[in-house]
Amino acid sequence: MTTFLSQNVERLQAPEIDYGAVAPLLIVLGAACLSVLFEAFLPKVQRWAAQVVLTLLTLAAAGAGLVVYASGEGTPEQGKLTLAGTIAVDRPVIFLWGTLLLLGLGAVLLIADRSVEPGGAFVADASILPGQGSQVYKGSGSTMVQTRAHATRFGMQTEVFPLTLFALGGMMVFVAANDLLTMFIALEVLSLPLYLMCGLARRRRLLSQEAAVKYFLLGAFASAFFLYGVALLYGYAGSVKLADIANATTATDRSDTLLYAGFGLLVVGLLFKASVGPFHAWTPDVYQGSPTPVTAFMAACTKVAAFGGILRVLYGAFERSSWEWNGVLWGVAIASMVIGAVLGLTQTDVKRMIAYSSVAHAGFLLIGAISLNDQGLSGTMFYLMAYGFTTIAAFGIVSLVRNGDGEATHLSQWAGLAKRSPVVAGVFTFLLLALAGLPLTSGFVGKFVVFAAAVEAGMVPLVVIALVASAVAAFFYLRVIVLMYFSEPAPDGPTVSVPGAFTTVAITLGAAITLVLGVYPSFALDWAGAGTFIF
Amino acid sequence: MSWTLIALLLLPLAGSLVVAFLRGNDRLAKTVALAFSLAELVLAVLAWTAFDPGGDRLQLTSSAEWIPAFGVHLSFGVDGIALVMIALIAFLVPVVIGGSWADKLPEGRSAGGFFALLLAMQTGMVGVFAATDVFVFYVFFEAVLVPMYFLIGRFGGPNRQYAAMKFFLYSLLGGLIMLASVIGLYVVSADKIGQGTFDWATLVTVTRELPLSTQIWLFLGFFVAFAIKAPLVPLHTWLPDAGAEAPVGAGVLLVGILDKIGTFGFLRYCLPLFPAASKELAPLVLILAVVGILYGSLLAVGQSDMKRFVAYTSIAHFGFIALGIFAFSSQAGTGAVLYMVNHGISTGMLFLVVGMVMARGGSRLIEDYGGMAKLTPVLGGLFFVAGLSSLALPGTNSFVSEFLVLIGSYPNEPVYTILAAIGMVLAALYVLWLYQRVFQGPVRGTALIDAVGGPGAAVDPERASVPDLNKRELAVLAPLVALILVLGFYPKPVLDVITPSVGATLSEVGVADPVAQEGK
């Protein structure tokens, strides 16, 4: 017995860890744990301030760690594998981590804001039940009562900060995962906090909780698909490592059925997270029901993480079998663009409209991802960055337009907004034009690089369909501009809140980057194209 | 490195920003806008004098790296064709500002916003004609839509939302289809010379070697975008709506300049980049051109709305321009470019006088007017001049260009030319009939009857409440009339600038033109 144990001890070598490379990851996840302790031990009145400071410091420290590592002397140019080969820190991962941290910063600023909605966009206590009316919940005995006084006194459910950090940490692992099992763990770490955060809206509790349940149920199914796909691929290749699967696809003596079935199931799980049509069904409901800062976080960061994962899997494991699956993903990309553009036309709620726009954008991104060349990789990553910042700023503005019942998201309520608030309408117009892909915005450069990569890969028909879909999608962006500028305001229309410092910074950050990436995209294109994946 | 074009680009942009901040003070905003546009005109004259017609193909060039990852350069330069268009822009914008000086804006809109958008559009338009990098051209091509969209949508007529949306979506769709070809150019050049580029002069040498099928696909991408802009039937339906709903000043720039981007695009991009495809598809374009001439003319005859009338006459005129370009002779090509300038002047003036009629009667409908010449003889006379220029009466500017297009096209394309000539007859019909209905005969029509004080009232021009042109309006129209006459009798200065560039364009298509060679 003792010999058996000692033998084992000898064999078990601790994996080598490059702490410099994974420092951003450790900082974010470590701070998430610390943040949970804050929740447990700090008195309720101090929590908000402490959490905001901790979260912002965490993001800054992680960003600093990333910059130090990326520009450090001893950093291998092509990147390196660490943690026993489960995590790859290469140039694309560094780019995606940087993007995630910056987008996370924007989202956290929106989450932390307490001035637009007094007390913040989150419910004071998650156990408050949906009741009649939208503001005051009456109850007796042990049922929670939310009154204005209660809300102001207790502010928001500050657990949202650790949840955000955990989700962000999960996303960072997700894009760097070098085997499918690590990827699955990361998928769960990023998903579970998001399910909870969806249900925390202060207003319209029922809608918010419905969104959370819907996202959870569908997300659980998608995770199951993913896991089943991993199992089949393990059966096919005898390994869950991306590089081993890639090697296996070059051999001829294995069961193609396992490969196709495993790949299909795996990709369904990934496409679900990226809200690519026809796996998008959750997107409009969840975007609409979630608190707007969480929607911004999901729309920007989850999209980056999911497509980071898709890129990694396609390039790492399935590049050599691409002719087997290319046709299917063509179809998926077309379906996504058509669904997003056409159903977006019929929407009357601004959050649902942006949700369908995100489905259409997911189709464009998928075109870049399946180009499978260097331009496709860097173009898709650039597009992710551009889209993320535009979306964060757009949702920041959505959170400002309010009436007595909270956010006024119905499009008819936006009529004549330019007269009431020219600056907000102007910035939102700019963001919509960026989503539509007009020149001098980041949206145009993003579309250009992705479509150029696709033409290079010989996918001209797909690009033509994508361009027509862009033109269709432009219609619903323009419709909002028409409403804001060319219509007369309704007499009892919404007011535009004066944003607090946090929201102002977030919107400014998003809009400024949208402009800079549109006018002078070179530096970001260089970063995105600095290197390729290692496996 | 020449700074002239860069100054031409930046000056209106600066003006736009300044004017945008003067929204509280309408009068100051207008004055500043006019000052900027006049300074731009001076700059354009300097550019004209600096241009050497016998010199290089592209002059006043400047270039700076923009997006090295894609070989995009901020490159500008002009040939004779682009130069006359930029001069036309610089001439029309102050005229438009003067013409829109006293416009009644919709409630809640400020003059500062209107003029800021006009100046912003000027930058975009100059950029389209001055860009020598296809990517930069595309950026300006799309960017110029935004100010026009707001001009129509915010300051236009009753149906402005619909018109603005239609205008934007049509142009955007065309632009996106062109984007496919722009990307195609990049990929093709990366294939052929190793490094992808958007430089026009380099691309010309690359793309002419492409097989015909590739050329045709790339050609079609550009062609659809330009045919929507120009507009050729059947892609024209946005123009009557946009032209009718746009405020008069924006309408002048819309048909006077913006639509010329299409015909300019044929000359600058379709022909030199894809010579084989241009020749292959020329019959298609010629058919569309002739259909446009006849269809536009017939619909102009039938219009009951004066602004839509102007829009349909433009569709007919664009048919002539397209005919001249795709007839592949240097006379017809020169005529087409001169036509682009003349159409800007004569249709611009027609739009302005229609606006002045509307400012007095408050209606766009022809049936609401009649016998107006008795009340406003000077306006009637100038309306007549604009009409004559539009129907290409000898002695007016349009005659020279229309004549050049027809005699230049006849040797190569006799059938199409004869059909096009029918358009000249129809032009006389629609112009004279409109003039007759609005200005001749006894004073009638609800718009005028209301203005002079009820039916049967004795018309006393001195006391009528329909005033004739004031000094501002005269000052706006005077330079237009002067140009109509000068270019009608002495078009040589403009032709001298145009001819070498048209010759170079046609030699890029590989057309050996007997007339031009004999001339030399």
**DSSP category for residue A22:** H
| Each residue's pLDDT tens digit, A327-355 | 999 999 999 999 999 999 999 999 999 99
Residue B423 domain-assigned (yes or no) = yes
How many domains is chain A built from? 1
In angstroms, the CA B397 to CA B421 distance is 17
How big is the A-B interface in CB pairs under 8 Å?
A: 90
Mean pLDDT of A405-432: 89
* pLDDT number for residue A408: 87
Residues in chain A with CB shorter than 8 Å from the CB of B189 are none
pTM confidence score: 0.91
Say how many CA atoms lie within 13 Å of B385 toward its Cβ.
Answer: 22
The packing angle between helices B330-361 and B80-99, to 10°, is 10
* pLDDT number for residue B452: 67
Mean pLDDT of A273-289: 93
Identify the domain containing residue A331 by its residue range: 16-132+146-528
Instruction: Say if residue A87's pLDDT is above 70.
Output: yes
A3 or B119, which is more confident?
B119
Q: Is B142 on the interface with A (CB under 8 A)?
A: yes
Residue A1 domain-assigned (yes or no) = no
In angstroms, the CA B74 to CA A319 distance is 37
Residue A6 domain-assigned (yes or no) = no
Residue B101 domain-assigned (yes or no) = no
| CB contact (8 A) between residue A471 and residue B172 | yes
A1: three-class secondary structure by DSSP: coil
Identify the domain containing residue B207 by its residue range: 154-519
| Each residue's pLDDT tens digit, B255-269 | 999 999 999 999 999
* pLDDT number for residue B518: 41
Residue B470 domain-assigned (yes or no) = yes
* pLDDT number for residue B464: 59
What b/e readout covers A436-451, taking b as 16+ CB neighbours within 10 angstroms? bbbbbbbbbbbbbbbb
Residue A3 domain-assigned (yes or no) = no
User: Which residue has 């007549």 as its token pair?
Assistant: B384
* pLDDT number for residue B457: 53
Residues in chain B with CB shorter than 8 Å from the CB of A529 are 69
pLDDT < 50: residue spans in chain B:
514-520
User: How many angstroms separate the CA of residue A71 from the nearest CA in chain B?
Assistant: 21
Kindly provide the ipTM of the predicted complex, given to two decimals.
0.87
Residues in chain A with CB shorter than 8 Å from the CB of B190 are 456
Residues in chain A with CB shorter than 8 Å from the CB of B238 are none
Residue B67 domain-assigned (yes or no) = no
Identify residue A91 by its one-letter amino acid code. Answer: R
| CB contact (8 A) between residue A464 and residue B180 | yes
A421: three-class secondary structure by DSSP: coil
Residue A140 domain-assigned (yes or no) = no
DSSP string spanning A52-71? HHHHHHHHHHHHHHHHHHHH
Residues in chain A with CB shorter than 8 Å from the CB of B168 are 474, 478
Residues in chain B with CB shorter than 8 Å from the CB of A485 are 150, 153-154
| CB contact (8 A) between residue A452 and residue B138 | no
Share of chain A above pLDDT 90, in %: 66
Residue A9 domain-assigned (yes or no) = no
CB A195 within 8 A of CB A215: yes
* Chain B residue whose CA is closest to A487: B161
Instruction: Say if residue A66's pLDDT is above 90.
Output: yes
What is the average pLDDT value for chain A, to the nearest integer?
89
User: Which H helix or E strand runs over A473?
Assistant: helix A460-486
Q: Is B137 on the interface with A (CB under 8 A)?
A: no
Provide CB contacts within 8 A for A346, sequence distance 6+: none
Categorize the per-residue pLDDT at A135 as very low, low, confident or very high, splitting at 50, 70 and 90: very low
* Chain B residue whose CA is closest to A452: B183
Q: Which candidate from B146, B184, B186 shows the least CB-CB separation from A438? A: B146
User: How many angstroms separate the CA of residue B98 from the nearest CA in chain A?
Assistant: 25
Categorize the per-residue pLDDT at A487 as very low, low, confident or very high, splitting at 50, 70 and 90: confident
Residue A456 domain-assigned (yes or no) = yes
Closest CA to B356 of B321, B322, B380, B323: B380
Residue B199 domain-assigned (yes or no) = yes
Q: Is B442 exposed, middle or buried (0-12, 13-18, 19+ CB in 10 A)?
A: exposed
Joined together, the tokens standing for residue B207 give: 């793309």
* pLDDT number for residue A148: 52
Residue A7 domain-assigned (yes or no) = no
Categorize the per-residue pLDDT at A513 as very low, low, confident or very high, splitting at 50, 70 and 90: very high
Q: Which candidate from A433, A475, A486 shows the least CB-CB separation from B169? A: A475
Mean pLDDT of A144-167: 73
* pLDDT number for residue B517: 43
